[in-house]
Amino acid sequence: MDYSFSPLGDQAIIIEVGTSINEETHNRIRAITSLLGASPPQWMTECIPAFTTISVAYSPLLATFEEAKNELASLLKKTEDIDVPHPRTIEIPVCYGGGHGPDLEFVARHNGLSPEEVIAIHTGTSYTVHMIGFAPGFPYLGGMSEKIAAPRRESPRGAIPERSVGIAGNQTGVYPISTPGGWQLIGRTPTRLFLPDREIPSLLQAGDTIVFRQITPEEYQTLEEKENADHI
Contact 151, 169 (CB under 8 A): yes
Could you tell me if residue 8 is left (phi over 0), alpha (psi between -120 and 50 degrees) or otherwise beta?
beta
pTM greater than the 0.75 cutoff = yes
Residue 108 pLDDT > 70: yes
What value does the mean pLDDT take over residues 35-43?
Answer: 90
- How far apart (Å, rounded) are the C-alpha atoms in residues 173 and 151? 14
Burial of 182 (0-12, 13-18, 19+ CB in 10 A): middle
Q: Is the pLDDT of residue 80 over 80?
A: no
Type of residue at 19: T
Better-scored residue on pLDDT, 131 or 172: 172
